[in-house]
Structure 1
Amino acid sequence: MPPRPNRLLPLATPAGIEVLTKILTQGPIPRVEIARRTGLSQAAVTKAVAPLIEAGFVTDQPVAAGPDEPVESQLGIGRPVSPLTVVADSVSVIGLKVTPTDLIGVTTDFTAGIRAVRHCRLPDTSAETVTAKLVELARELMAPETLVGPLVGIGVAVSGDVDAVHGVVRDSPFMGWRDVPLAASLTASLDVPVVVTNDVRALTVAEHWFGVGVNADSFAVVTIGSGVGCGLYINGEVVSGAHGVSGELGHLPLAPGELVCTCGRRGCVETVASSDAILARARKTTGKPKLDLSGAIELAHAGNEDAREAFDRAGDVIGSALAAMVNLVGPELVVIAGEGVADYDLYEQRMREAFAAHAFGAAGDCRLMLRSHTFDDWARGAAATVIRSYVRGEPPLQR
């Protein structure tokens, strides 16, 4: 039998899950407001939240009226409102992010607040080495001094095609992996439920539950760095795809066909817009084969037209890819994130021009927003996927 969370949530009905989700993502929030937003009766909300309060997952502390605010003006006329809030320290979660050079790990509380951070260099990218290092890093984060409550699960975020249901990395070009049963290997070593997911999808879950997507009807997260990824939140859910693949913006065939992608295909967006592609182009156009990315950025900022061309070309392709995605699914907001956004100013104008040129009709009203992310945030995204599965009772955190 697979391991279960060290602390089980007393949630027996869909109403209970819905109520806890509202408290977790939108709290502090009064019972009457939960009833309004969910369509449940106040009695149903009270019934759902009572075992959560008794078990210490949720608390209700009265909110005192402000100095100029009469008590009667608050919800619950004549008495102070008791907003419901998740007890952050009621559980701990670990999130791990895998890159070709490093592992990044965080411990978070129930609200995905980061409490501890650890980094680890990788000597190589073989599945055996990375799995062993992930176990070491997880055990370090499982130390009592880094946990705020019982550990309920570990999330691992990996780039590429990931079968989250079975915890298998089917294809990760950056890592050179195919069909790696990562969740099973880690679970066997750590005896803790492990969720393995695509890294961009994990970041999207974090934005949905704890970031800019909390009150959005639809949004997309586009990440720019060593690769170009996209996570989608549409119709009340982060899109996973029927076969576990969705939002692969970096592999739309919008670049010149002679360019070969790390995935083995030709003409992918990543062949022009990734940081590696920008650097390769800048080296070629400037005639400086030893140029590094920071040097290319410096040259472009200084007005070097040869270096600038690499960023302009990336902006054109990213803008066209964004327009294609927005035309297809129509999100109200696109969050542009990732390590590559540090250079956003170098291609922002060309990107916005290309987006405006190709966005159809009112799709052009979609808001494009920059949101800086560190690798710690990617690891936090992995933790957020665990929190979501824990609340919903999804495998491998089913109750």
Structure 2
Amino acid sequence: MSSTRRAETFPANTPAASQIFTTVLSHGPLTRLEVARRAGLSPAAVTKAVRPLIEAGYLVEDADEPARPTLGRPANPVRVDGGRALFIGVKVTGDEIIGVLTDLCCRIRLARHAPLPDREPKQVLASVAELTGELLAEAADLGVPVLGLGIAVSGDVDRGAGVVRYSPFLEWRDVPLAELAAATTGLPVTVDNDVRALTVAEQWFGAGVGLSDFAVVTVGAGIGCGLVVHGRVVAGAQGVAGEIGHVTVDPAGPPCHCGNRGCVEAIAGDAAILRRIREATGVEVADTAAAVELARQGDTGAREAYARAGEAIGRGIATVANLLGPERVVISGEGLAAYDLFAEQIRDAFTAAAFGSAAQCDVQTRPLPFEEWARGAAATAIQSFIRADQQR
């Protein structure tokens, strides 16, 4: 990942120290003994790692929490001081960018939206820089340093290199976004796939806290999937792990922009649903809101399109459950606005296709606005900051 020189570095340069800090970040306040148990480390290792983090102000003894009795003297819990640093997260969609300013605990302090009239990389970069500048000005008023910028983009993103390899919605190929954004904003920049970024936030702060294996499936313009296996977000050797949108569920189905036929996304993505409704009804539905309204009015063609989408999504989720056996699958994305139209089909298809105990996977919905996706981008920036010394 290309970036500018950091004004400040995280005072912990070992995997154990980063793990300890992340444990407190997700589960705190915790006593040192509780941290040791959760992290699987010795109390001595925890004490050694906590000391410089307290001295640098990243961890604080929690005066609001009562000391907890132990075999020796009462133990004071420690927690992350969220106000110690700020981070910026940006989510880029096909027609707008959403920026958030978060604290170190990834709590959103401010959110801003800006239209994106041009998808050319140069214009998108200028819009991101302008929005980032606004958030930096707000941070300056707070007197707290901004230590990183995360950018979330759909498609094939190589986080390590900071390069967007291919984004179909933006029509980008091989854009070195991290390097360009770092040079423009002056901040260390992390670029990641938008669904993986959302998954990082869910792992640390949302529906995945405390789970070692879970998945986030997003429905809407595209069908995405973020995977956590043995406590780590999986990107795969080429950075495209979790692409269930391009799992074939109907070999005779409609063509997909990836070149195959019958992919989940080619059946259940917003554009695919609109196209099928137009073909079935002859009605020129303008957008997804119009399609949802038509289906809720009882139009047979529209309802069938959503039913088929639900079946494809359910089979895609079952594929994830059969391969990885996650404890939970969280369904999110803007497509949940139509969830009532295909919830039954998702459930039935999942149950039918899930093998054995994989059917016991907890499948739940979690509607999240795009501000939360931008928050996911900020979470990747926080993650990069915490692990910086291990990534060099």
Residues in 2 aligned to 1:337 and 1:37: alpha-carbon distance in whole angstroms: 28
> For 1:123-146, what per-residue CA distance to the aligned partner results, in whole angstroms no more than 9, with x for missing partners?
121111111111111111111447
Q: Normalised by the size of structure 1, how large is the TM-score? A: 0.93
> For 1:62-117, what per-residue CA distance to the aligned partner results, in whole angstroms no more than 9, with x for missing partners?
4565xxxxx8xx43358654111100011110001111100110010001100111
| One-letter amino acid matched to 1:128 | K
Residues in 1 aligned to 2:16 and 2:150: alpha-carbon distance in whole angstroms: 26
Q: Hey, what does 1:206 align to over in structure 2?
A: 201
SS of residue in 2 equivalent to 1:143 = helix
Q: Hey, what does 1:134 align to over in structure 2?
A: 128
| Pair 1:316 & 2:318 matched | no
Q: Hey, what does 1:41 align to over in structure 2?
A: 42
Identity of aligned residues (%): 50
SS of residue in 2 equivalent to 1:213 = coil
SS of residue in 1 equivalent to 2:225 = strand
Match of 1:266 among 261, 280, 289: 261
Residues in 2 aligned to 1:297 and 1:13: alpha-carbon distance in whole angstroms: 51
Structure 2, unaligned runs of 5 or more:
none
> For 1:261-296, what per-residue CA distance to the aligned partner results, in whole angstroms no more than 9, with x for missing partners?
233433221111012211221222222124432222
Q: Hey, what does 2:163 align to over in structure 1?
A: 168
Structure 1, unaligned runs of 5 or more:
66-70
Alpha-carbon spacing, 1:107–1:198, altered in 2? closer, same or farther (3 Å): same
Q: Hey, what does 1:68 align to over in structure 2?
A: none
Residues in 1 aligned to 2:285 and 2:216: alpha-carbon distance in whole angstroms: 33
Match of 1:87 among 58, 73, 81: 81
Residues in 1 aligned to 2:308 and 2:65: alpha-carbon distance in whole angstroms: 56
SS of residue in 2 equivalent to 1:267 = coil
| One-letter amino acid matched to 1:232 | L
SS of residue in 2 equivalent to 1:93 = strand
Residues in 1 aligned to 2:335 and 2:10: alpha-carbon distance in whole angstroms: 39
Q: Hey, what does 1:57 align to over in structure 2?
A: 58
Alpha-carbon spacing, 1:64–1:363, altered in 2? closer, same or farther (3 Å): closer
Match of 2:325 among 323, 326, 330: 330
Contact 2:3 2:178 in 1 (8 A): no
Contact 2:23 2:35 in 1 (8 A): yes
| Pair 1:362 & 2:363 matched | no
Residues in 1 aligned to 2:93 and 2:378: alpha-carbon distance in whole angstroms: 16
SS of residue in 2 equivalent to 1:223 = strand
| Pair 1:111 & 2:105 matched | yes
Q: Hey, what does 1:225 align to over in structure 2?
A: 220
Contact 1:62 1:81 in 2 (8 A): no
Match of 1:393 among 383, 388, 392: 388
Contact 1:131 1:186 in 2 (8 A): yes
> For 1:312-351, what per-residue CA distance to the aligned partner results, in whole angstroms no more than 9, with x for missing partners?
0001111111111111111110000000011111101011
Residues in 2 aligned to 1:14 and 1:169: alpha-carbon distance in whole angstroms: 27
Aligned residue-pair number = 390
SS of residue in 1 equivalent to 2:228 = strand
SS of residue in 2 equivalent to 1:276 = helix
Contact 1:5 1:151 in 2 (8 A): no
Q: Hey, what does 2:281 align to over in structure 1?
A: 286
Q: Normalised by the size of structure 2, how large is the TM-score? A: 0.94
Contact 1:206 1:380 in 2 (8 A): yes
SS of residue in 2 equivalent to 1:8 = coil
Cα distance, 1:258 vs. partner?
5.2
Cα distance, 1:148 vs. partner?
6.1
Cα distance, 1:55 vs. partner?
1.1
> For 1:182-220, what per-residue CA distance to the aligned partner results, in whole angstroms no more than 9, with x for missing partners?
111111111211111100000111111111111112100
Alpha-carbon spacing, 1:290–1:243, altered in 2? closer, same or farther (3 Å): closer
Residues in 2 aligned to 1:231 and 1:14: alpha-carbon distance in whole angstroms: 23
Cα distance, 1:2 vs. partner?
4.5
Residues in 2 aligned to 1:89 and 1:6: alpha-carbon distance in whole angstroms: 17
SS of residue in 2 equivalent to 1:136 = helix
Q: Which moved more, 1:135-144 or 1:195-204?
A: 135-144
Residues in 1 aligned to 2:241 and 2:389: alpha-carbon distance in whole angstroms: 20
Q: Hey, what does 1:26 align to over in structure 2?
A: 27
Residues in 1 aligned to 2:148 and 2:65: alpha-carbon distance in whole angstroms: 36
SS of residue in 2 equivalent to 1:29 = coil
| One-letter amino acid matched to 1:296 | A
